Amino acid sequence: MRSDAVTKETPKRALFHALGLTNEEMERPLIGIVSSQNEVVPGHMNLDKIVEAVKLGVAMAGGTPLVFPAIAVCDGIAMGHQGMKYSLVTRELIADSTEAMALAHAFDALVMVPNCDKNVPGLLMAAARLNIPAIFVSGGPMLAGRVDGQKTSFSSVSEAVGAYGAGKITAEKLLEFENKACPTCGSCSGMYTANSMNCLTEVLGMGLPGNGTIPAVYSERLQLAKHAGMQIMKLLEQNIRPRDIMTEDAFRNALTIDMALGCSTNSMLHLPAIAHECGIELNLDIANAVSDRTPNLCHLAPAGHTYIEDLNEAGGVGAVMKEVDKLGLLRTDLITCTGKTVAENIAGCVNRNPEVIRPVENPYSKTGGIAVLRGNLAPDSCVVKRSAVAPGMLRHTGPAKVFDCEEDAMEAINAGEIEPGDVVVIRYEGPKGGPGMREMLNPTSAIMGRGLGDSVALITDGRFSGATRGAAIGHVSPEAAVGGPIALLQNGDMIEIDIMANRINVLLDEEELAARRAAWKPRKPKITTGYLARYASQVTSGNTGAVLKQNSFAD
């Protein structure tokens, strides 16, 4: 066992005795449990209960569980201010600190307990990097809220703010949304980033069936955690490791189900970053090829009016995979953390609600939920959640309204300066330029709340919350901070967007673009000290997953 390095020497054993461990416990495998629990993030407030269940499962199966923490940022609380610069960047902190703890203490295996946003990809990156047996069990999704008898969620609150600002609802109704939209602990109830990544963890094979959809407040979630604790001991015994599970074919499966589910565009940042840690290049060029042959089967919030709890009742991720497998689009002979293959995992899955999970014969669309666009405005690509775009905005040409930060754009939107037909451009918010690639939920929600969602597009070198809907195009690469074409735009430039053809262009000739490029000058970094400055100096482009450059010490 790896843990022999720390449990067989007398001085180290003395320190374990100081923890209260017995000789018997030190004879067993040491299982690290990475807990993202804190009292700040609603999706993480229940993780202490999940961790206790995992510990019991590990102990029942003959292991010695030891818990250590991972940090977590709530994107909703961080949104719209300096805090959002610290959201994406925590992914690398989580991966690095987990690596440090796992190797410093010679754990034999790990159980990862994340839930929201960057914790899931950060811990998947750590699992791939460490490549010791690992399994995931998340905290589970929030139940949907209720307003006027209709299910609702966090994105509804953000849009209600815009509606109130436009005089469409009263202050009393806005307060009702505030009080009722998020009724329980858990990751926000729609197919936002957290739930997207928890569902895709299940598809990748790193989480047990149900990991992505069993609600946080269900006792079944605690049962799942106990089973995860027991299962890690089997993975250790069989020496099944993350890179045995997260193969190139597994990532293709994840991309395929991503398209069927209509996941957050943030998956187009996180899947390449996780693959990178596995030594796999996940080029976004394949995303459109996958999308072209994969039907979109689910319209979960914000794309529609169903929620993760509905997906769970309909059969969960397994039922979606079973539908997609009818078309022969999945590799089903791949090993998973269950110790069984994908085919064995989904064999008994049934689609119990064809309104929540459309059959492949009757999809919402014949193509997937996410599209990658290219053109002279985004030579290295940009990303849009196609399934959440109004049909009339799939093709759009309009004048640019250009802003150099999110705050300036919000001021203009709230002042009524954005008109039907406009294309709002928010730049210098990319991985380097932000730094940190902030999410633009507030601007998109304000646009929707003001009734402009069917007539206004927004493009940015930043990114979007999974709660965003509308013609919101993010991850524009190269970003403005490195002189990408988005930095050259001026007010009034006509921008042509054709999501169905995967194209985005500014209608300027190359001579004009060249002249502007020659006149462009880099801007002074917004932040020059601390972690964000170090991050900005090392981070790569959004189209490569915003991973950090690796320093080489080779001769």
Quick check: is 465 catalytic? yes
Taking the C-alpha atoms of residue 50 and residue 53, their distance in angstroms, rounded to an integer, is 5
Q: Which tokens sit at 38? A: 């804190």
Cβ(55)–Cβ(224) below 8 Å: no
Torsion angle, CA of 199/201/205/210, rounded to 10 degrees? -40
**3-state DSSP assignment of residue 109:** strand
Largest CA-CA distance found in the chain, in angstroms, rounded: 76
The residue count of the chain comes to: 555
Torsion angle, CA of 431/435/436/442, rounded to 10 degrees? -110
Burial of 355 (0-12, 13-18, 19+ CB in 10 A): exposed
Taking the C-alpha atoms of residue 95 and residue 193, their distance in angstroms, rounded to an integer, is 18
Burial of 259 (0-12, 13-18, 19+ CB in 10 A): buried
**CA proximity to 242, closest of 335, 177, 157, 176:** 335
Cβ(317)–Cβ(308) below 8 Å: no
Q: Which tokens sit at 317? A: 């991720």
Q: Which tokens sit at 241? A: 């490791």
Candidates 35, 196, 445, 465; catalytic one: 465
Give the H/E segment covering residue 378: strand 378-384
Q: Which tokens sit at 31? A: 């299982």
**CA proximity to 340, closest of 228, 245, 263:** 245
Active site residues: 465
